[in-house]
Structure 1
Amino acid sequence: METLTVLQQYLIPRPVGGLGGGAAALVVKQSIDYVTALDIPRDLIDNTLSAFRDALDNEVRTVLSADNLSNAFLTNLSTFTVKIINPIIKLTQHVSSNIGLGGRISINDFGRVELALGRELARLIRSTNYSRAEDLVYALSILIEHDQWVINNVVKYGFDGLMDRINERALNEVGETSAYLMATMFAWYSSTTAVLGIVKEFRRENLDSLAQWSRAYAEELDTYIDTLDLLISDETYKALREEGVIKQ
């Protein structure tokens, strides 16, 4: 369940003017080198980009201009999820397997590059002086946290091992986590593309609501990440069972 943060500079088209400054250029170069080192197949990158661009042209623009935002968000969230979930899962499997097999990219490399991309995007969001910029930055930070949680655990346990633990210990919790992840991503992606000037026509009240919702959903997502962390960890899960917190 990879978020769009792994290929951040690709999944969101650059606003007019692009990234500025030497530091920004370095971040982009590092991320391109990183993608190259992971040897991600071109068709997988293209499919992922296509899914997000399709969502941008349809679901994102729809909710940003909708007369009834709540209804439009719920209606389009399912379509958004269907479009992006498959390429994201495939991307996650590929990235985690390449890291886990001792490739040129380590788990620490993954974390450093993704955080660098996140910091640069946060800088871009803040540079707009949008009144709810910190809501978007917070939501971004939780999306990155989720991203790294998934990759770390897939590398640690293997994809099948992680799925086994989820099926045995946290099936309901991972369902809730996935729902909040998709809602966070949709609200954040929609509002961020408007703030960065990628989507030009939108209702300001919709933008503000979506930014606020992205934070609210992200707060719930953060709580579920903590819960999953307890249930997936063999040591913690064993301790919780021994203490009777979790029934045998």
Structure 2
Amino acid sequence: MLAPVILQQYLVPKPVGLVGTAAISMGRLGDYATALGISNDLVGNITNAFRDALDNEVYAVLNAEDVTNTFLIDLPIFTGRVINLMIRSTQDVVRGISLSKISINDFNRAELAISRELARLIRSTNYPHAEDLVYALSMLIEYDLWVVNNVVRYGFNEVISRINERALNEAGEASAYLMATAFAWYSSTSAVLGMVREYREGNRDLLARWSREYADELDAYIDTLDLLINDETYEALVEEGVIKQ
């Protein structure tokens, strides 16, 4: 849900002159969550949570004299503010797919369309580190797609069971890098798109670079989880002695 939230926050004050996907996004963004089975109340709570994060943790890290220390202090606060809402939105999407209200292809297309538009907006600023932010965004979207597609494929309880038995540490690390990527990306992107007016350019740029570095780690853990969740690859790794049971 992070990509549509930030797209909404950027577009709502600036609706004039939008064309193509941006105009469609602006016109239908309110319907995005509804179409995916997410309640309006939850959408409102998610939007408010990220707005509060923008006013607090994001502002703090963008203006901190010691950006490293501030990031480490505020990351758990940011995580606590948004993580349960993100989990609930994923559960709502999976429930909608299981009840045939939407298809998995609908979800995939919606996520990719929103992310493409947001990537276009980031690149349109000609920000020197735009590609770092676009890459981090792509990994955040990939994680969303990975979670939803696997829960739909195996079922929520089965995914949790496989993680507990095969990949508990890896899942924990993936979650940590997910939130670090999200916080760094959201902070830097908010400055790049003008959603935060007061910030240190050095902090913005450092956070953009961090978002890519964290996203690299997230990508590696997604690949690892994919191997461990899949029965065929997991059994092959056990047979080859890579994993000891």
- For Structure 1 versus Structure 2, the TM-score category normalised by the shorter chain is over 0.9
SS at match of 2:228: helix
From 160, 168, 184, the equivalent of 2:157 is: 160
- Whole-Å Cα distance in 2 between the matches of residues 206 and 121 of structure 1? 21
- 1:11-69 CA-partner distances (Å, limit 9, x unpaired): x3437534721332124445544422233222211111111111111000000000000
Matches within 5 A, 1:1-248: 3-5=1-3, 7-10=5-8, 12-14=9-11, 16-18=13-15, 20-29=18-27, 31-103=29-101, 105-248=102-245
Question: Is the contact between residue 177 and residue 225 of structure 1 (CA under 8 Å) also seen in structure 2?
Answer: yes
Question: Is the contact between residue 10 and residue 193 of structure 2 (CA under 8 Å) also seen in structure 1?
Answer: no
Count of matched residue positions in the alignment of Structure 1 and Structure 2: 244
- Whole-Å Cα distance in 1 between the matches of residues 43 and 12 of structure 2? 20
- Whole-Å Cα distance in 2 between the matches of residues 226 and 138 of structure 1? 16
Percent identity among equivalent residues?
61
Question: Is the contact between residue 230 and residue 236 of structure 1 (CA under 8 Å) also seen in structure 2?
Answer: yes
Question: Is the contact between residue 30 and residue 113 of structure 1 (CA under 8 Å) also seen in structure 2?
Answer: no
Question: Is the contact between residue 31 and residue 113 of structure 1 (CA under 8 Å) also seen in structure 2?
Answer: no
Structure 2: which 5+ residue stretches go unaligned? Answer: none
Large movers: runs of 4+ above 2 Å: 5-10, 12-19, 26-39
Q: Which one-letter code corresponds to 1:131 in the other structure?
A: P
- 1:159-180 CA-partner distances (Å, limit 9, x unpaired): 1111111100000001110110
Question: Is the contact between residue 174 and residue 222 of structure 2 (CA under 8 Å) also seen in structure 1?
Answer: yes
Residue 190 to residue 8, structure 1, CA distance change in 2 (3 Å): closer
Question: Is the contact between residue 133 and residue 211 of structure 2 (CA under 8 Å) also seen in structure 1?
Answer: yes
Q: Could you say what the CA RMSD is over the residues aligned between the two structures, in angstroms?
A: 1.6
SS at match of 2:11: coil
Q: Please, what TM-score do these two structures have when normalized by structure 1? A: 0.93
SS at match of 2:18: coil
Question: Is the contact between residue 14 and residue 198 of structure 1 (CA under 8 Å) also seen in structure 2?
Answer: no
Residue 7 to residue 96, structure 1, CA distance change in 2 (3 Å): farther
- Whole-Å Cα distance in 2 between the matches of residues 162 and 234 of structure 1? 11
SS at match of 1:5: helix
Q: Which one-letter code corresponds to 2:63 in the other structure?
A: S
- Whole-Å Cα distance in 1 between the matches of residues 25 and 53 of structure 2? 26
Q: Please, what TM-score do these two structures have when normalized by structure 2? A: 0.94
Structure 1: which 5+ residue stretches go unaligned? Answer: none
